[in-house]
């Protein structure tokens, strides 16, 4: 389906904004090392969801869907990895404390 250039531009703007938005969060976490307020459930669901979107884009051969989700998966996985790593570290520290 073909839309007016302005509408297509709005779609690309939307895709660019939502794709880029995940990078500041990953950068903030890599910089501060703080993931306390981050929801593990969010980044679990989000990462699986983005992977499904990417696979969907690949199957239907939709370039933008494939590329946008492949890019978004990187910061999402960075946040998820840091969150899980901190949770495991904290659990380990509590066990040592409790003897």
Task: Give the distance from CA 25 to its chain's centroid.
Answer: 9
Residues 11-30 that bind its own copies (CB under 8 A): 11, 13-25, 27-29
Residues 31 and 15 sit within 8 Å (Cβ to Cβ): no
5 lies in the site for its own copies, by CB under 8 A: no
Q: Between 16 and 92, name the residue whose CB sits nearer to its own copies.
A: 16
Residues 30-59 that bind its own copies (CB under 8 A): 32, 34-39, 41-46, 48-50, 52-53, 55-56, 59
**Distance set, CA 83 to CA 23, 34, 36, 48 (Å):** 15, 9, 8, 15
Q: Is residue 18 helix, strand or coil? A: helix
Residues forming the site for its own copies (CB under 8 A): 1, 3, 7, 10-11, 13-25, 27-29, 32, 34-39, 41-46, 48-50, 52-53, 55-56, 59-60
């Amino acid at each position: 389906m073909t839309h007016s250039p302005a509408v297509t531009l709005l779609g690309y703007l939307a895709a660019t904004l939502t794709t880029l938005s995940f990078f500041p969060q990953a950068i903030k976490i890599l910089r501060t090392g703080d993931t306390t307020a981050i929801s593990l459930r969010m980044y679990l669901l989000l990462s699986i969801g983005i992977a499904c979107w990417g696979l969907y884009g690949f199957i239907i051969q939709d370039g933008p869907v494939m590329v946008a989700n492949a890019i978004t998966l990187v910061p999402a996985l960075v946040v998820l990895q840091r969150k899980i790593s901190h949770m495991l570290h904290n659990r380990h520290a509590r066990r040592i404390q409790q003897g």
